[in-house]
Structure 1
């Protein structure tokens, strides 16, 4: 392939994905590119011979009117076929576009098109390994490729052509050794990308340009570390008065909106940092919480030449801090900030381990693709943080093998990213981390923490969950069986037989040692299987399953498990680990150099021995070490035994752990806990108590001005049936009716929040059967495929859409502006009484003579309720309605506490039909206001 190769970049729009079911093309576009310039563009509507489904019209903006005068595919087929001759076929997902096109060619009597293909999804994954998404629209936005009408073939094909050119330019920017390694590995890819790599490599070799931006480990090119910004500390004065604060912000921000709550928060944090004291701050949406804590933290760090550590909950929030908020602060103070993102060892790549594993010959497609991604990423990353990579599921297994661990080679090198992060922390103003890593580092006590004067714990209410997760242990049968399978026996084609062949052939380890190890292994697996059989027997005795509900849960104390069997397995596994470890030591003992391919097997052996050590520790923690401060339960599914066995061990309270971790910090540094939801009416210190924070630590509550929520209205539907007095099916019918009417009155953009997956699923099924929302895209957690973030992105893409979610959608989901019109709360978010952790916590409270409902159930539900409302209004310009379908908010005495937890907004109680009329009126007014704003902007 030479540079003047002809590329045909194709995009098609269709009525659906299945030709077999009669789906047809509605638009095609082909862009011809030569010498990396667009030479020709062909685009045409195509009559599908049927009406276009509404959701396809919504997605593509192609209607039946657009195609009514178009010819069928038969009229275009010969010309399209001719255009593709002598070209490399390029598409964003060739599996769809090319196979659909081939099917159409066959249908009209043309032969299959033959030629090379390039899939820009595959190519972009390799060359932009840190992209958040590989959808064409997302890549176009990230790479500044114009794409005005996504899902229109003409715009998509042009964007795809420009993406191909961007990929080519990206290839040419890579170091020569990286291209050489990529070319060697590229023959296992699904599309013909290897030729493209070869051509780039030829150009690179001819130019022989200097490549000084890299450090090299063997044949791996790694980006040179960036130099820290030289900073002047003088002149860093904290703005004490409101006028000084306004002046500082106005210089840096064009449309600065003064917020007294934000100024108050800054002063509280400044005071506590200087006094090295502790405080809790609840800062509602609209306060400007992030800037409120960042500015005083940075000024304090720079003035005192000390450090402030900021911890938040999710990776998403970490990225927002680094990419959006820190640059704002740099603009405000007019100088750079030295920031380090610090994570635990296992988050960083072990370059030596990667270099070894890369040499493996029997790589799967996913492993090959991931290796290519890592090669490109190493030439760009400054951090070595593996979370920067966006890998497929199969690729993640490979990523887990190249993580740095405590047993990684002790030599320090320029490419040891973890050591580099520790060194950078020593020079940083701010250290940013997340809750789970902070907890792990506090336990290990990283020495860098001695230099920290202030700790800001953002999203503090989530620290409870992070601490519980860190202390929990989970056992799954399938995970353990997979681990046993990876070692295998001498008769298998797994690691044991490979290691044995090499060790015996090289006369490093006697064969009888392997016989002994295999014997111990067989005994260990037998003991494991017996332990599992005992669990199944006990569960069947205690926890009866039914056809309608084959899943069962039982607490450890309800079972009479054979403890002797559990202990015997633990001893057998320890015996196997000791022997496997000694054999690895024996293999390495010889003076003779170990061949690279043998070293690779040894690295894999050591990797799995480490895994077994971790698993044994997990086994002992769950099955052997009984602790009253924890609750342990077993879950099974009768349809899949023993495959479905899961055992979970969770702490009942984390307050003692929190005190133990934070008391040493409190003696020498400020600790500031902040969140949008820290309090509930009548129990303001609910979260504080869970975090083990003493009563004398002050709690500040900062609420955005009433004006901030001017666009919000709350409705309580007061003629819904009482769930206790009707059957579940009747109740679900009423819920489905209410939801369809609310959705239609706001024309979509609606979140519907449930507390139980079963009710969500049945409601969605009933709505789909009724056909009342057939014009809308319905996304439902646990029903529609995809992760939470994937569902959210899909929901935002369509104007007529509804998202049904359970627990995880009550918080941490941002849909700004017109993206969300309404939030419907189906049931007040109380925890299910049978949920094991909740049940165990309730039992402890009852033993202490406390009311589990008022002390635990109610405050937890109110916090979720507050967070549910928080999805709706994300800026002072937002408008939205909050609808509660649960009558208990009106009929129960505790209902007023839920309402008091909302900001000061209008709350109206109405029958469903009256509410729908009010909502329609509100929605029409909102549309008129939006039109007026658009008109004024023009």
Structure 2
């Protein structure tokens, strides 16, 4: 029994630095004894100074509330006495404990001493799949009450419940997992090792350890077996009233939408007749269930799966989590679904176990290993994307990805990817992403085969995926990292250990080691010369420089003979690395488990080097393919570290045609669908980009007439023309328009840019002005976190503004009142200096086609439509689409943008009149 007293502490303060005069304004301590909350202490504290306005907004603690409270000097001894003999717990002990100790010292009372536990560190280990480790996010995930975040009393109590939840989770882990965790816990930054020890002791005494299958001593959660799908006489609802009856079972507040029922028929007919169709299904129709229902019924009738492909892994997971259960409710049948991603998304248990044998771990590696050990006891997929690890931890994750299909017998039994592949042949619906679908179609032995239909959702993104899937990116930093793994002979590094191993087992003496060192020096010397050449090169065209960012075509330096010399010296070096591998391989039976792991690690980095060598040849020495363009990107502030060389396809349709040809040979129905598949006056633009035959019909379904009743479009006609003022002047005007709009609407805005540079400058100008100090300002590329994390932050605050570029123009759902307006800063044309666009434009020019009207304009219109699609996600949504770029009314092509949008009232107004209209609307 753990008989210690835990003191869970939270402070609210005027700032982060007690040495600079910041003081406590509220303190709360929650005591935990014998596994339960026993007592609480909470006090307001008079800081003896004004509370900064942003702290008042964050904490809701005002100067008035603390005016009659004691100073910290008056309660310091009381607080010190309460904490003596306890284990100090906080959600980020680095802040709360250090601040408190500094205050104790200032007040000349005894500082605290003892063990400390940081619930951030503990939560990261025990809840490794949480999307965020902020207290309010963890509280939401674990159903812990947190009435008011950033109030010490509520935060301390929530942290106490978090600690109890963590301890409960800890005691539920298998004994073998606890043992592996405890062994590594001594290098953590807070005293969590004692918790692992107590849990391990308790589990051993009670003899109630959870039993999971073991892979070489590592417990893991087995994948639930999929029951094989069988053909059932489930009939597709032909009549409209039959469809409505079914949909009402899945949607308690079902809203009749005739286009949804028509789309269901279109999808059904394509699947049944094994034909191909393009379907444009805008927001508001119910696209996902519109194709999932006919797909599920078709699978039941044929006894074979239907494959659903969408753009990202996030959308894949969303379909599985949200929509498949709805289909089960509608059909009242256990419709099964399996998610399949590329094998590199899954953990290689063999590689993970190998790395556990190598004891020299950094803090990041140790921490990530502990997260993985806990995650393995709960994951049902083995998908590494489920883990939330640090940047340093990500390097470790990349080393345990499944890279090839060659496995030992015990690996085959435990391999997650293999089990997912097995499930795909037995399920009704296989849900995957475009990248996986494309790469699988190119394999000789395909994973996805013998299926009865294919639905490609977010089909317009298939173009982007085809480009990215065939793109090669050579990063200087990545190259240096790979080379460094086997090139450094410093004490404790892999090369140092391999040389010792070689000296122990090999009869070839020092000669091969000397050869390795010589070939390494030769290779890195010439590689560094290339890095210097590319770093110092100045582009021949003015468009290649944008501030510190420099971009130029490889053709400007391609004739340099040094590129071939790098390939030659790299080949020599790889041969030396391979020789050591070969010589040691024959002695493997005599090696210890740790020595085998070292050799396997050497082999892994040898394989990575060979991949890099192939990429080098493809980028610098292969002139055979005219459908590719190659360019160099760099940042003048960080050379050569920022060097990236990219080889990318010019025309995706060539690649996609190969895919569709193979798919058509399967004689299955194919449905290409998206909210943006057509453009007025150029209906087949997207289809042509996709390489789809002109014989494939396009069907467009309009949203219900009333769907956009609460939407309006504003064109701000007194904005400066971006072509006639400096960028700084335009940014000032944009910042002013954003500030006024935010204040009028109360926030909940997207501000969409086409340039990261302009986004950053606008964001910083607004931030510095402090005019929106009450609002949470979230900026893509500036605020930390992924797109999904930024979006979650945006949703959590009532007063929030999100500044986004490319990826926020589409694929983002913020329904209801969470989004009130979208501001379009510039019409979303691709920059003419963007390298792929430039290469495509040159090709069109060569055949007498106008790149602007036939490429730039239709692409921009599509993106514009997608930006509008962020705003209205249901018929109850109210929102405003605000356009700041005056080209929409001054240029002849402006009407093409407006004609592409649904029939929504358009108002040309000054900024002042628009703000007044918004204020009137929100004051109603």
The normalised TM-score by structure 1 is 0.95
2:883 and 2:588 map into 1 onto residues whose CA distance is 74
Task: Map 1:485-524 onto structure 2 (within 5 A).
Answer: 485-488=484-487, 490=489, 494-507=493-506, 510-524=509-523
The equivalent of 1:532 in structure 2 is 531
2:769 and 2:218 map into 1 onto residues whose CA distance is 59
Partner SS for 2:762: helix
Partner SS for 1:474: strand
Task: Map 1:54-203 onto structure 2 (within 5 A).
Answer: 54-203=53-202
Post-superposition CA distance 1:235-281 (Å, at most 9, x none): 42211111111111223432122221211111111110111111111
Deviates more, 1:145-154 or 1:610-619: 145-154
The equivalent of 1:590 in structure 2 is 587
Is the 8 Å Cα contact of residues 312 and 435 (structure 1) preserved in structure 2?
A: yes
Is 1:227 the counterpart of 2:225 in the alignment?
yes
The equivalent of 1:29 in structure 2 is 28
The equivalent of 1:614 in structure 2 is 611
1:606 CA displacement: 0.9
Is the 8 Å Cα contact of residues 719 and 886 (structure 2) preserved in structure 1?
A: yes
1:43 and 1:127 map into 2 onto residues whose CA distance is 28
Post-superposition CA distance 1:154-194 (Å, at most 9, x none): 22211111111111111111111111111111111111111
Is the 8 Å Cα contact of residues 46 and 68 (structure 2) preserved in structure 1?
A: yes
Of residues 566, 569, 572 in structure 2, which corresponds to 1:572?
569
Q: 1:734 to 1:611 in 2, by over 3 A?
A: same
1:560 and 1:416 map into 2 onto residues whose CA distance is 44
Question: Where does structure 2 lack aligned partners over 5 or more consecutive residues?
Answer: none
Number of matched residues?
Answer: 921
The equivalent of 1:916 in structure 2 is 915
Is 1:310 the counterpart of 2:290 in the alignment?
no
The equivalent of 1:720 in structure 2 is 719
1:473 and 1:869 map into 2 onto residues whose CA distance is 33
Task: Map 1:346-425 onto structure 2 (within 5 A).
Answer: 346-406=344-404, 408-411=406-409, 413-425=412-424
Partner SS for 2:452: strand
Is 1:344 the counterpart of 2:345 in the alignment?
no
2:49 and 2:440 map into 1 onto residues whose CA distance is 62
1:818 CA displacement: 1.7
Partner SS for 1:449: coil
2:308 and 2:479 map into 1 onto residues whose CA distance is 37
The equivalent of 1:934 in structure 2 is none
2:819 and 2:592 map into 1 onto residues whose CA distance is 60
1:336 and 1:127 map into 2 onto residues whose CA distance is 33
Q: 1:784 to 1:232 in 2, by over 3 A?
A: closer
1:545 and 1:639 map into 2 onto residues whose CA distance is 18
Post-superposition CA distance 1:530-560 (Å, at most 9, x none): 32333345x2373679999343222122335
1:65 and 1:23 map into 2 onto residues whose CA distance is 18
Is 1:251 the counterpart of 2:249 in the alignment?
yes
Is the 8 Å Cα contact of residues 440 and 446 (structure 2) preserved in structure 1?
A: no
Deviates more, 1:380-389 or 1:540-549: 540-549
1:862 and 1:57 map into 2 onto residues whose CA distance is 44
Q: 1:387 to 1:546 in 2, by over 3 A?
A: closer
2:543 and 2:686 map into 1 onto residues whose CA distance is 37
Is the 8 Å Cα contact of residues 313 and 463 (structure 1) preserved in structure 2?
A: yes
2:781 and 2:228 map into 1 onto residues whose CA distance is 51
The equivalent of 2:781 in structure 1 is 782
2:753 and 2:600 map into 1 onto residues whose CA distance is 48
Is the 8 Å Cα contact of residues 534 and 561 (structure 1) preserved in structure 2?
A: no
Deviates more, 1:521-530 or 1:285-294: 521-530
2:676 and 2:545 map into 1 onto residues whose CA distance is 41
1:210 and 1:877 map into 2 onto residues whose CA distance is 51
1:854 CA displacement: 1.0
Is the 8 Å Cα contact of residues 544 and 552 (structure 1) preserved in structure 2?
A: no
Task: Map 1:398-477 onto structure 2 (within 5 A).
Answer: 398-406=396-404, 408-411=406-409, 413-477=412-476
1:549 and 1:380 map into 2 onto residues whose CA distance is 48
Partner SS for 2:43: strand
1:739 and 1:754 map into 2 onto residues whose CA distance is 12
Q: 1:252 to 1:773 in 2, by over 3 A?
A: closer
Of residues 191, 215, 224 in structure 1, which corresponds to 2:213?
215
Q: 1:489 to 1:898 in 2, by over 3 A?
A: closer
Is the 8 Å Cα contact of residues 809 and 863 (structure 2) preserved in structure 1?
A: yes
Post-superposition CA distance 1:557-607 (Å, at most 9, x none): 233531x32122212222322332242232121374311221121121011
The equivalent of 2:687 in structure 1 is 688
1:85 and 1:489 map into 2 onto residues whose CA distance is 48
1:560 and 1:210 map into 2 onto residues whose CA distance is 63
Partner SS for 1:70: coil
The equivalent of 2:729 in structure 1 is 730
Partner SS for 1:81: helix
Partner SS for 2:213: strand
2:430 and 2:405 map into 1 onto residues whose CA distance is 25
Is the 8 Å Cα contact of residues 350 and 408 (structure 1) preserved in structure 2?
A: no
Of residues 652, 662, 665 in structure 2, which corresponds to 1:664?
662
1:809 CA displacement: 2.0
Q: Give the superposed CA RMSD.
A: 2.1
1:195 and 1:766 map into 2 onto residues whose CA distance is 49
The equivalent of 1:746 in structure 2 is 745
1:772 and 1:448 map into 2 onto residues whose CA distance is 56
Q: 1:518 to 1:155 in 2, by over 3 A?
A: same
The normalised TM-score by structure 2 is 0.96
1:407 CA displacement: 6.4
Post-superposition CA distance 1:38-81 (Å, at most 9, x none): 11011222223333334333333333333333222222222222
Q: 1:192 to 1:659 in 2, by over 3 A?
A: same
Partner SS for 2:378: coil
1:850 CA displacement: 0.7
Is 1:331 the counterpart of 2:329 in the alignment?
yes
Q: 1:260 to 1:56 in 2, by over 3 A?
A: farther
Task: Map 1:597-676 onto structure 2 (within 5 A).
Answer: 597-626=594-623, 627-667=625-665, 668-676=667-675
Is the 8 Å Cα contact of residues 795 and 802 (structure 1) preserved in structure 2?
A: yes
1:819 and 1:25 map into 2 onto residues whose CA distance is 34
Partner SS for 1:779: strand
Q: 1:53 to 1:169 in 2, by over 3 A?
A: same
Is the 8 Å Cα contact of residues 489 and 518 (structure 1) preserved in structure 2?
A: no
1:309 CA displacement: 0.9
Is the 8 Å Cα contact of residues 457 and 673 (structure 1) preserved in structure 2?
A: yes
2:338 and 2:62 map into 1 onto residues whose CA distance is 51
Post-superposition CA distance 1:590-634 (Å, at most 9, x none): 374311221121121011101101111111111111232111111
The equivalent of 1:809 in structure 2 is 808
Post-superposition CA distance 1:313-339 (Å, at most 9, x none): 122212211111111111111122221
The equivalent of 1:6 in structure 2 is 5
Q: 1:281 to 1:407 in 2, by over 3 A?
A: closer
Q: 1:451 to 1:553 in 2, by over 3 A?
A: same
Q: 1:641 to 1:772 in 2, by over 3 A?
A: closer
Is the 8 Å Cα contact of residues 52 and 63 (structure 1) preserved in structure 2?
A: yes
Q: 1:370 to 1:193 in 2, by over 3 A?
A: same
2:421 and 2:769 map into 1 onto residues whose CA distance is 59
1:766 and 1:399 map into 2 onto residues whose CA distance is 38
Post-superposition CA distance 1:690-735 (Å, at most 9, x none): 1101111111111211212222111111122222233333333322
Is 1:287 the counterpart of 2:298 in the alignment?
no
2:771 and 2:175 map into 1 onto residues whose CA distance is 59
2:781 and 2:446 map into 1 onto residues whose CA distance is 44
1:804 CA displacement: 2.0
1:509 CA displacement: 5.2
Is the 8 Å Cα contact of residues 231 and 299 (structure 2) preserved in structure 1?
A: no
Is the 8 Å Cα contact of residues 706 and 903 (structure 1) preserved in structure 2?
A: no
Of residues 296, 303, 306 in structure 1, which corresponds to 2:294?
296
Q: 1:450 to 1:782 in 2, by over 3 A?
A: closer
Partner SS for 2:163: helix
